[in-house]
Each structure stands twice: as structure tokens, then as C-alpha cells.
Structure 1
């Protein structure tokens, strides 16, 4: 994949929109902190994250701009159009970054170096901005290659990524700041050091977020390649009379279409990660653009990209904009993932990180009235909501709160909690633990030694005296030193992976061992 990156794009776009020149220092601020600045500003010691007062003291003639995603997307359409004159199949990742398949174009222009040179010259001539090009396997590696202007040979993406700092995992849309901070504190300061860990160990310690980041550090894609095209009935087409010729009207329409498009995918258990936006004007002109997203799109995410694209089309320079308004719009899910990648609220609330809109507030009020009616029929315990609470064992970490009762945690869930079971937590916790037997490869019961170790590696698990299920993997033991089961005999927990049995699928379970001389084993929960 080839990635074209325009450095400092929010600042460059802000300067261009204001009609200024790039020779003056400029910066874009959000919450009074620098989020982007021009090269001239960096030469005057302006850095990302710097407070506005400090930045203006360092550079009194600094031009100050606010964040405007619509402005960034509108002006980046000129760059995308310039690239599209040379190559086809481009995908806008975000304003300032786009990706294109490299194989066909490189063969046509005589190799990747020649293609990169042509693209840089084309963008400079047609759009008047500087850019850098990188080539590597996968979007993540190609993006980092673009920042260095590197062309990575096939099969060497992992080698290219290895010396880079692990902080590169925290890309703008990735939200992995907590994971990156933990990795640094554990001494894993480079992508290569993180990639050397075993995937099973990463999954046991860091969960799904860690596994996806681990794939990126190894030079792999965060998702396997999609081999099946989404069915055509998932597309959403809409005709307009009168035609859409104003951005504010298009933004209103985009909100409604985004909700319908997302709902149709959600009904099939899917979420969109590559969105195609195609339009036909009243004069028959065909417009189209594909947006690639690191995370599944929410309804607000779909609406934003439709609005940004209309900004680019309708506010383009004279001679480049359509000659008439948009008469027909089609949203196409170019790539989808399973819906578990995006958990929906009960009444499909607003985009995470944004306040609820008027429609969401009304929906929440209607849902609340419905819950009260159900409680009137079934009692207060008929409607409950989960609350993540502090605790050491899985059963105490989640409490079910009756609807309407105060949702106040008993203990802070983010506290250290010594002897707490490490992530991931079991998806299902049994209300009554299930008695089982854990045996070694000789059929003898496995227990705990005086030194708090297992007497033998677990080999099989028997339920109610039935045939043993083969244990293909295990982790632990983790001692239970305090909490609800702190009294009595010595206890320890293990995570076991069970092989498929007759009429039984493979599964992972959490078991508890009590006692050292005559151990008693119980299953406390299971994992998805």
C-alpha cells in the first residue's frame, strides 16, 4: 500500500483558508493546546501539546486558528483530486492522509520510486502543498513509512517497524494511549520489543486492544483481508428534489442518512470500515470518493464524512466544482466487519465522546418510561443495569443495579486491588460454581503444593465424573489471598482452554482450586 501524507495538514489548511502565506508561523489550537503547527512555527520552538499562552510568548507573531474538520476535509479534496489524476482506487483515511494500491500504478510508472516522485510533483503543482510518500505492507506501516519518506520492500515491514518507539501505536484515531503508557512502564519501549511477545501472552495480559496493537507492531494488518464483498442490498441510495446545492442542507440530510445506513448494517450484525460516497449531479456528472477508517463507523462518523465530502465538492474552486447540485446520493459499504467491533447502546445513542443530541435525549426518556413499566410488572429487580465496581474476583467486579437506584461504586474499579485476576475477565460468571475435577496426563488429581505451585501440569477436566475434556492451554495459578474467599484453605485460580469434544465446541474457562491435600475444583466462569 502507498500512503501520501501532507505534514501539518490542519495548520496548512487553516493558513490556506485564511488567505495567508506559509512563511508566517501558524498553529491550530484545541482546548488552548497546540494540535498542529507549520514548519515555520516549529522552527520558533512551537510544539504539539504546548499551551497557548506559552506558545504566544515563544512566538508573539504566531497566527492562531481553531480546529475545523470540515475546513480540513474541504481543502484536502484538492489533494485527492490531484492524486486521482495519476492513480485510481484512492481512499481518504483522514484529511491530510490518503492511501492507494501500489501494484498497478508502480508497474505503469516504472517502479515505486518513480511513482512516489510523480505523486509529490503532481500534488505540489496541482494543489500547491508539500507531501511525503511511503510504501509498506498494511496501512499502519505505510503511514509510518510516509512520515520518513521510506519505500519498504515486501516482507520487511516488521524489520522497518522494529526500532520505532512504541508510542507510534497511539495514532490519532486509535485511542491506545492507556495501552502505550502501560507498555512503556513495563519497559517495552520499541515496536520490536512488543512484537517479540507471544500473541497468547499479549491476549492474556492486554485483551483485544493489545492483540490488535500487537498485530500492527509485527507488520500485519489489524484485521484479516476481506475476501467477500458486502451484499448490494446494504447500499443506501437517496434522490433529492430539489437538488442539494448547499452544504448546510447536505449536512442535515447526512445526519438522517448516516443513522439509516448504520441501522441497516447493525440489523445484520455488521459495521462499516470503508465507506464509499457516490453522487450524481442534476447535469449527470458522476462524483465519488472512498473513506477508510481505522475503527468501525458510528452514525455520526458516517454523517461527518458525507458532510466533509460535500464540503469538498460544493466549495471547490470555480471550474472544479460540479456545474449543478447533487440529485442522487449513494452510500456504499466497501468493507464491513462483524458488529462486535462496535457495541451499540440500547437505544442507539450518540457517538462516544460527544454529548447526546436532542433525538438521543428523547429516546432515552422513552426508554426510561418503558423500564419503569416493566418494573411495575416484574418488580424492582426486573430491570437492572451493570456497574463496573472494585474487587478481586470476577463475581464482585460487576454489580447489577435496579433501574432508578443510585449507580455508585463501592470501591474504585481502577485501584490496584492486589491479587485481582488479570485481564481478560470472563464473559460469563456462574451464579453457582460448577464442581469439576482437573487431572494430569496420568489421570491423577492436580492440586497445590505447600509452595503454592501446581503438583502437575493440567491435562484434562472432568464434569460430574464424565469423560475428561483435553486441556490444550492454561495460565496461572493466581493465588486468592484476600477478598470474599480469603478464609479457609489455600485457593488459586487458573484459566484453561478446553479442546472440542463430542457435540462440544472449544472453550476457555476460569477454575478455582481450594485446598492442598484434597483439592476441590470448581468452574467460576467462561470466556467468549
Structure 2
């Protein structure tokens, strides 16, 4: 199906200007989990790039305006854009704040071609919302989204050729892309050339969906359909959710409603790819928005989209004048979830889902940061490579494929202490081992005393591995020498000498 995607560049930055008045023509960066998520053109001109840590971004641009990511703000600001698009062409589906999709056939026939329809949409958004937008057209939402970022209209029948030389990272699945790169697959053409049955058997159902997208094949063969009525879930509030004041209460309802929908779909062996959110106010006003996703919408994904949409409806200036009485979730597109069959060694999926629901409930009671999972990032020190992210958030490893000069050789310590243990490494004469600027040791390591414990003999050692970070910065400069020490009690440790003091950062198995 020929699909048209409307994409607004740098939307988190633009939304911050629309909602909070931050100037998008200044160097602005929106951060999520202490890393740059989006930047203004002025910030990019100063060298600020997506994925940089906050300190590095500020180092490149000292006058950078730093903002925290707010999905609710992005959704509220995008609502007027969606309304403007709907005035020109009906049937708009929200992909995410800053991007929406619609069938290209209707607007193309009405305005005399896809190029004319795209031009009309861009003009409409500029006139009504004073927002810059780009439009792309191709077969399928995935290809049309990439075409929108490039600002091109892919001719009919040439979608596969348009996709074939793009990087595998364009799939938007970092874990799968990392695995494929390690297998020597770097472009969508190479991935699409793999046999579909082998992709499903080796990588799973979500990778099979990605494989179809990489080949430029329309999503219709996956048979998304309008489900039976009994799959819909509805929540009626005893006390209406009022604008602005009770968005937090709506967030709790969103989580419970999302779990009910996910469980109902799971009972039928289905998964949602397109979600309709309907709300009815006390005065009878009906609100409707459709969210679309290339993969499978999990409980967290459904709850997030419902919460963002409620935030967008309730907090916008021209939002509903009365409280929301009823919420309804309609899975408008579903597919058979082949990943739900029992595992080889039993119902492992059921246990995983039960644990997932339990952790989700804890988050609902205590907040999203109450349950954290670890992600391994790139870096020179093992103690700084562990990043904690909220359960359900995107777990993307960053910088793991970089060379990291000065990094430790494999293997990495099995245990990395959150707070390094104080220690003393001494030579055979009992004097503390020191390292000169030329990496010369005052003596070979002979014993190690960790904390208040007894000295333990060193039977083998490797190092020093030096690292000299931020040598140009008087305040942030850091110089260390690291050693791998095998002890007489069969332990192996990572010992570090910094500023004349020894400490133990990790323990090897």
C-alpha cells in the first residue's frame, strides 16, 4: 500500500518551544537518561550530536540549553499538527509524537498526484501550526518514514531499491542490528537476502517482521485486521478525569487498562500493531486517535501511548472542556503472535510474562524509576560502563563498538563494585607499589591487603594499563593505572592506582 508519512524534524526541541517557550533557534538539546535525544540545528552546528553524554555536549557547546525529555509535552504540541493534517486528509494514524501516516491514494487522487498532496500537507502544517514538516511516500509505513526523513517521494515499485543500501540500524531495533553486524550483515539488502524461514527460526518473530520491512514488502501479508468487538477494553470513571489536575490518576488507569488489553490479546495468541484510543467526556464529546507501531505493542508501550495521549488531550489549550468519563482501547491491527507458543523446556514465556506483570505493578505503585535494569555501555572503565534504565524503557547499548583506547583487555570482571574497595598493593619489601609517569613500577606486586583484611600473596599479575582522561581539563582530568592481580587464595581482582591510592574495582570469576 502506498503510504504517506509526515515527519517534523527535531520534534522534542520544537515541542519545547511550542509548550514552554524555549527558543528553537538557539543551541538546544533534549536529554533522556543523561544522553542527547534531539538537538536544534544551531546545536548541531556546534558539534552536539544525538547520543552524546550531557557533559560532553556541554563541553562542545558551553552555552547549550539543556532540557529533559517530556513525552507528554511532545504529544500535547503534536495534537494541533494532527488536527491540521486531518483537515486536508482523513484517516491519520499517529506513529509517535512528531510523525504520522496516512494512505497516499486518497490525497493523491484529490490533489492531482502524490507530489501535489505532499506539498499541500506541508503548506497546511506551516500555515496552521508554523511548524516545518517533510513528507515521504513509499510502499509501507516503514519505508515511507525513511523517505520522509530524506524528503523524497519513492516512485511506485522502487521501494526495495530505495531501502537496499541503507544501514541495518534503520530498522530501529538496536539489539537486532548489533547482532546482525557481528554476523557480517551491514545493510538492509544483505538482511533482506536471507531466507525468511531461517530468519524466523534463528532470530524470532519480531526479526521476521523486520525482515519483511527490510525487503520493502508491504505489511498487508502479515494480516493486520479489525479484531472482534470482545477484544476491546473499556474503563468508566466514577469521578471524571478533569483536565490538567488529574492526569496522574489517568496514568494509573492507563496502566491497568493496558494490562487488561494485553492479557485479552494474549489469550487469543494475538499481538497489537495498531491501537485506537477513544475517550468520551461528561458532555458527550468523543475523542479518537490511532497509534501505529512497526513491531508488537507490549504492555509498557500500550500504557505509554495511552498516557501520552491523555496528557495531550487534557493539557492542550483547546482540549475538552469537561472531564473524561470513559476510556476505550481498540486493537485495530493485530497479528498472530508466533512467539507465544510454549518454549522447548516448558512454559518459560508464561513465567516471564508473570514476572513482567509483577514488575510493572511495582512501577505503577512506586514510580517508573523504582525498577531498574542494567545496560552495558562502551567505556574504558568497567565501573562506568554499567547504566541503569527504568524497566520497560529502551535498553540500548551505546558505544560498545568503539575502539576505546586504553580500555582493559578481556575478560571483564564478573563483579564490579559500586563503591571501590580500599586496598594496598605492596612489593616484596612491604613498600607500596607506585607507578611513574613513564609507567615504571617501584617494585613488583607481592601482596595485597583489601580493606581491614590480612595481606594476601600475589602469584601472577598483568599491567599496568594506563588511562589518561580529559588531560586538557584541570578539574575533570583523571589519570589511573590498572592491574589484573591473581591472588594466592585463588581470587583474581582488578586493582587501580589513582592519585597515590590503591583500590579494588572488580572481581574476576
Aligned to 1:322: 320
Note if 1:348 corresponds to 2:357.
Answer: no
Alignment check: 8 A CA contact 2:222 2:335 kept: no
Aligned to 1:365: none
Alignment check: 8 A CA contact 1:350 1:360 kept: no
Alignment check: 8 A CA contact 2:226 2:331 kept: no
Aligned to 1:250: 250
Cα deviation for residue 182 of structure 1 reads 4.0
Task: Report the Cα distance in structure 2 between the residues aligned to 1:276 and 1:326, rounded to whole angstroms.
Answer: 16
Task: Report the Cα distance in structure 2 between the residues aligned to 1:278 and 1:25, rounded to whole angstroms.
Answer: 38
Root-mean-square deviation (Å): 2.7
Aligned-partner SS, 1:124: helix
Alignment check: 8 A CA contact 1:298 1:351 kept: no
Task: Report the Cα distance in structure 1 between the residues aligned to 2:366 and 2:251, rounded to whole angstroms.
Answer: 18
281 and 193 in structure 1: CA distance in 2 versus 1, 3 angstrom threshold = same
Equivalent runs, 1:201-280 vs 2, <5 Å: 202-203=199-200, 206=203, 208-221=205-218, 224-226=221-223, 228-245=225-242, 246-280=246-280
Task: Report the Cα distance in structure 2 between the residues aligned to 1:7 and 1:352, rounded to whole angstroms.
Answer: 37
- Uncovered stretches (5+) of structure 2, i.e. residues with no partner: 341-348, 368-413, 415-509
286 and 359 in structure 1: CA distance in 2 versus 1, 3 angstrom threshold = closer
Q: What is the CA deviation profile of residues 405-452 of structure 1, one whole-angstrom value per residue up to 9, with x for unaligned ones?
A: xxxxxxx9xxxxxxxxxxxxxxxxxxxxxxxxxxxxxxxxxxxxxxxx
Cα deviation for residue 358 of structure 1 reads 6.7
Q: What is the CA deviation profile of residues 77-135 of structure 1, one whole-angstrom value per residue up to 9, with x for unaligned ones?
A: 12111111111111111111111111112111211111111111111222222111101
Aligned-partner SS, 2:327: strand
**Pairing partner for 1:195 from 176, 192, 210:** 192
Alignment check: 8 A CA contact 1:280 1:329 kept: yes
Cα deviation for residue 31 of structure 1 reads 2.9
Aligned to 1:287: 287
Cα deviation for residue 209 of structure 1 reads 4.9
Task: Report the Cα distance in structure 1 between the residues aligned to 2:233 and 2:279, rounded to whole angstroms.
Answer: 12
307 and 31 in structure 1: CA distance in 2 versus 1, 3 angstrom threshold = closer
Equivalent runs, 1:328-339 vs 2, <5 Å: 328-339=326-337
- Uncovered stretches (5+) of structure 1, i.e. residues with no partner: 362-411, 413-528
Aligned-partner SS, 1:22: coil
Aligned-partner SS, 1:82: helix
Task: Report the Cα distance in structure 2 between the residues aligned to 1:59 and 1:122, rounded to whole angstroms.
Answer: 35
Structure 1 residue ranges, 4+ long, deviating more than 6 angstroms after superposition: 351-355, 358-361
TM-score (norm 1): 0.62
118 and 55 in structure 1: CA distance in 2 versus 1, 3 angstrom threshold = same
Task: Report the Cα distance in structure 1 between the residues aligned to 2:272 and 2:224, rounded to whole angstroms.
Answer: 15
**Equivalenced residues, count:** 355
TM-score (norm 2): 0.64
